[in-house]
Amino acid sequence: MSETLENLLQETRQFPPPDALAANANVTAAAYDEAAADRLAFWAEQAGRLSWATPWETVLDWSNPPFAKWFVGGRLNVAYNCLDRHVEAGRGDKVAIHWEGEPGDTRTITYADLHRATCQAANALTDLGVTAGDRVAIYMPMIPEAAVAMLACARIGATHSVVFGGFSADALSGRIQDASAKVVITADGGYRRGKPSGLKAIVDEAVAQCPTIEHVLVVRRTGQDVAWSEKDLWWHDTVEQASAEHTAEAFDAEHPLFILYTSGTTAKPKGILHTTGGYLTQVSYTHNAVFDLKPDTDVYWCTADIGWVTGHSYIVYGPLSNGATQIMYEGTPDTPHKGRLWEIVEKYQATTVYTAPTLIRTMMKWGDDIPAKFDLSSLRLLGSVGEPINPEAWMWYREHIGRNNCPIVDTWWQTETGGIMISPLPGVTHTKPGSAMTALPGISADVVDDQGKSVPNGGGGYLVLREPWPSMLRTIWGDDQRFIDTYWSRFENMYFAGDGAKRDADGHVWLLGRVDDVMLVSGHNISTTEVESALVSHPSVAEAAVVGATDPTTGQAIVAFTIPRGNVDTEGEAGEALIAELRNHVAKTLGPIAKPRQIMLVPELPKTRSGKIMRRLLRDVAENRSLGDVTTLQDSAVMDLISSGLKTGK
Whole-angstrom distance, CA of residue 593 vs CA of residue 2: 10
Helix (H) or strand (E) holding 78: helix 78-79
- Give least dist CB 510 to ligand WT7, A: 9
Residue nearer to ligand WT7 on the CB measure, 235 or 413: 413
Stretch that binds ligand WT7, among 326-334, 359-367, 380-388, 467-475 (CB under 6 A): 380-388
Decide: helix, strand or coil at residue 497: strand
CA atoms 437, 300, 471, 41: torsion sign: positive
Residue 407, interface with ligand WT7 (CB under 6 A)? no
CB 546, min distance to ligand WT7, A = 15
- Paired strand residues for 97: 109, 326
Q: Distance between CA 43 and CA 69 in Å, rounded?
A: 13
Spell out the SS3 assignment of 448-479.
ECCCCCECCCCCEEEEEECCCCCCCCCEECCC
x/- mask, ligand WT7, residues 568-587, rule CB under 6 A, reads --------------------
386, 391, 460, 468: residue in contact with ligand WT7 (rule CB under 6 A): 386
**By the rule CB under 6 A, 387 interacts with ligand WT7:** yes
Window contacting ligand WT7 (CB under 6 A); options: 15-23, 205-213, 379-387, 445-453: 379-387
The answer to whether 538 touches 577, Cβ cutoff 8 Å, is: no
Q: Give the C-alpha separation, 579 to 570, whole Å.
A: 9
The three state secondary structure string of 126-183 is: HHCCCCCCCEEEEECCCCHHHHHHHHHHHHHCCEEEECCCCCCHHHHHHHHHHHCCCE
Q: Does 595 bind ligand WT7 (CB under 6 A)?
A: no
- For 542, the enclosing helix (H) or strand (E) is strand 541-551
Minimum CB–partner distance for residue 236 and ligand WT7 (Å)? 33
Residues contributing to the annotated binding site: 192-195, 310, 386-388, 410-415, 499, 514, 522, 536, 538, 541
| Contact track, ligand WT7, 443-482, x by CB under 6 A | ----------------------------------------
Nearer to ligand WT7, 80 or 261 (CB): 261
Annotated binding site for ATP: 386-388, 410-415, 499, 514
242 or 436: whose CB is closer to ligand WT7? Answer: 436
Query: By CB under 6 A, is residue 390 in contact with ligand WT7?
Result: no
In whole angstroms, what is the distance from residue 423 CA to residue 429 CA? 9
Annotated binding site for Mg(2+): 536, 538, 541
What minimum distance in Å lies between the beta carbon of 610 and ligand WT7? 6
The one segment of 203-211, 337-345, 496-504, 531-539 that binds ligand WT7 by CB under 6 A: 496-504
Listed residue (437, 400, 413, 386) closest to 16, CA to CA: 437
Note the Cα 377 to chain centre separation in Å. Answer: 26
Beta bridge partners of 607: 613
- Angle, helices 39-47 vs 277-290, to 10°: value is 90
Contact criterion met (CB below 8 Å) for 545 and 618:
yes
Q: What DSSP designation does 424 have?
A: -
Given a contact cutoff of 8 angstroms between Cβ atoms, the answer to whether 449 and 460 are in contact is no
CB closer to ligand WT7, 222 vs 423: 423
Binding mask 249-278 for ligand WT7 (x = CB under 6 A): -------------xx---------------
436 binds ligand WT7 (CB under 6 A): yes
Among 56, 139, 396, 413, binds ligand WT7 (CB under 6 A): 413
204 binds ligand WT7 (CB under 6 A): no
- 21 CB-near residues (< 8 Å, 6+ apart): 292, 380, 381, 407, 426, 427
Q: Which stretch binds ligand WT7 (CB under 6 A): 169-177, 207-215, 223-231, 411-419?
A: 411-419
Please list the helix, strand and coil fractions of the chain in percent, rounded to the nearest 5, in that order.
Answer: 35, 25, 40
**Going residue by residue from 610 to 629, which x/- string records binding to ligand WT7, judged by CB under 6 A?**
x-------------------
**In angstroms, what is the minimal distance from the CB of 86 to ligand WT7?**
26
Under the binding rule (CB under 6 A), the answer on residue 530 touching ligand WT7 is no
- Residue among 56 and 164 whose Cβ is closer to ligand WT7: 164
Contact window for ligand WT7 (CB under 6 A) among 112-120, 160-168, 381-389, 625-633:
381-389
In sequence order, the 6+-apart residues with CB closer than 8 A to the CB of 241 are none
Q: How many residues bind ligand WT7, per CB under 6 A?
A: 22
67 in helix, strand or coil?
strand
* C-alpha distance across the termini of the chain, in Å: 33
- Per-residue HEC secondary structure of 223-267 comes to CCCCCCCCCEEEHHHHHHHCCCCCCCCCEECCCEEEEEECCCCCC
Residue nearer to ligand WT7 on the CB measure, 110 or 286:
286
The contact mask relative to ligand WT7 for 50-89 (x = CB under 6 A, - = no) is ----------------------------------------
Report the C-alpha gap between 62 and 69 in whole angstroms: 7
CB 84 to ligand WT7: min, Å: 28
CB of residue 637 vs ligand WT7: minimum separation in angstroms? 23
Phi/psi of residue 326, nearest 5 degrees:
-135, 165
Cβ 494 to ligand WT7 shortest distance, Å:
15
- Classified as helix, coil or strand, 213 is coil
Residue type, 569: D
DSSP bridge partners of 190 = 197
Neighbours of 539 (CB within 10 A): 9
Considering only 414, 444, 486, 634, the residue that binds ligand WT7 (CB under 6 A) is 414
Instruction: Pick the closer one to ligand WT7 by CB: 232 or 517.
Output: 517
| Region of 4-12, 176-184, 225-233, 302-310 interacting with ligand WT7 (CB under 6 A) | 302-310
What's the closest the beta carbon of residue 358 comes to ligand WT7, in angstroms?
Answer: 11
Using the rule CB under 6 A, which residue among 503, 514, 585, 616 binds ligand WT7? Answer: 514
Instruction: Report the residue from 122, 497, 546, 558 that binds ligand WT7 according to the rule CB under 6 A.
Output: 497
**Residue 281 vs 527, nearer CB to ligand WT7:** 527
Determine if 309 is a binding residue for ligand WT7 (CB under 6 A).
Answer: yes
499 binds ligand WT7 (CB under 6 A): yes
Applying CB under 6 A, the residues found at the interface with ligand WT7 are 262-263, 308-310, 385-388, 410-415, 436, 497-499, 511, 514, 610
